[in-house]
Homo-oligomer: A and B are copies of this chain.
Amino acid sequence: MSTHLSIGDFSAISHLSVKALRYYHEVGLLQPVSVDSSSGYRFYTTTQVPTAQLIRRLRKLEMPIPEVRAVLAASDRWQRDTLIAAHLQRMESILSETRAAVRELRQMLTTTETEFLVSLRTVQAVQAAAITATVGIGDIGAWWEDSRREIRALLRVTQTVPSGFSGGLFAQELFTDEIGVATVFVPVVSPVALSGRVKMVEIPPARLAITVHRGSLGTADRTYGALGTYVAEHSLAATGPVTETYVVTGDDTADEGRLRTEICWPVHH
C-alpha cells in the first residue's frame, strides 16, 4: 500500500524542508512520483520516505549532492555501502585535521617566542630521485605524503641508499595563487631505475637563508613567517622556490617535539 502525499505532508514525515524537496526535484536527486500538469503540485508517496531519510542523513554529514546521487544510483548494497564508507572515512580525517588545528592554535597562543637563528648557505646542485607536480595548496599535504611514500618504495626495491636528507621545493605561487609547482626528492649519487611518477632531476644550486623548524609541519607557517620577515628586513629577497629539508622526520621519532625541518628561503648574493 502506498499513499499520495502533498509536499507539505511528505516534508513533515521525512523532515526534509519543503524548499529542500523542491531543490532536490530541480536537480533530479529526488523526483516526486507525479506532478500535476496544471497546478504544478508535486506528489510523493510513503515508499519514498526511507530514500528521503537517507538523503537527509548524508546531507547532514555534508556529503555533496553529486555523491548522494551516486549512492542512490548504486546498483547493489555493497557498492552503496562502499561509497558511504569512503565518505565517513573522509569525515574522520577532516575531524582529526580539525582537532590538530585546534591543538596547534592552542599551542601557538601559549608558546612564547623561541630563539630564532638564521644562517646563510650556498648549496650545490644535487642529483635526486623526485616527483614533481602542479598542486593546489589544499591537496599539498596528501600529495606530499603519497609522493614521499612512492619514492621511498622505489629506493627500497632498487636497494638505493640516499646520499643526503630528503627535501621538498615549493614555488611561491603555491601560496600567492593557491596553486603551483612542488617537488619532493631524495638525493642519490647514481641514477636509479625509474618507475611510476619518479624522475631523476638535478636540484639546482641556490643561495639560501636557513632556519630550523622544530615540531610538526602543521606549525611551520610561523617559521616561514619569521624567516620571510628576516629576509625582507635584510633586503635579501630573491626569486625561486622555498626548500624544506627533512632532517628528523616521523620515520625517525614518534615524538613530535623532536621533529626537525630546515626551512630555506632563496636569497641573492
Q: Quick one: which of B53, B105, B137, B232 contacts A61, CB cutoff 8 A?
A: B105
Which residues on B sit within 8 Å (CB–CB) of A115? none
A121: Cβ under 8 A from any B Cβ: no
Q: Is there contact, CB below 8 Å, between B1 and A60?
A: no
Q: Is there contact, CB below 8 Å, between A2 and B176?
A: no
Q: Please classify the interface of chain A as helix (H, G, I), strand (E, B), loop, or mixed, using the class held by over half of its residues.
A: helix
Closest to A57 in B: B105
Q: Is there contact, CB below 8 Å, between B225 and A178?
A: no
Which residues on B sit within 8 Å (CB–CB) of A61? 98, 101-102, 105
Q: Is there contact, CB below 8 Å, between B17 and A229?
A: no
Q: Is there contact, CB below 8 Å, between A233 and B17?
A: no
Interface residues of A in 136-167 (CB under 8 A from B): 137
20 A-B pairs besides A46-B233, A53-B225 with CB distance below 8 A are A3-B235, A5-B232, A8-B176, A11-B175, A12-B228, A13-B224, A13-B228, A14-B228, A15-B175, A17-B137, A17-B175, A18-B177, A46-B228, A53-B222, A61-B105, A84-B105, A88-B105, A91-B102, A95-B98, A95-B99
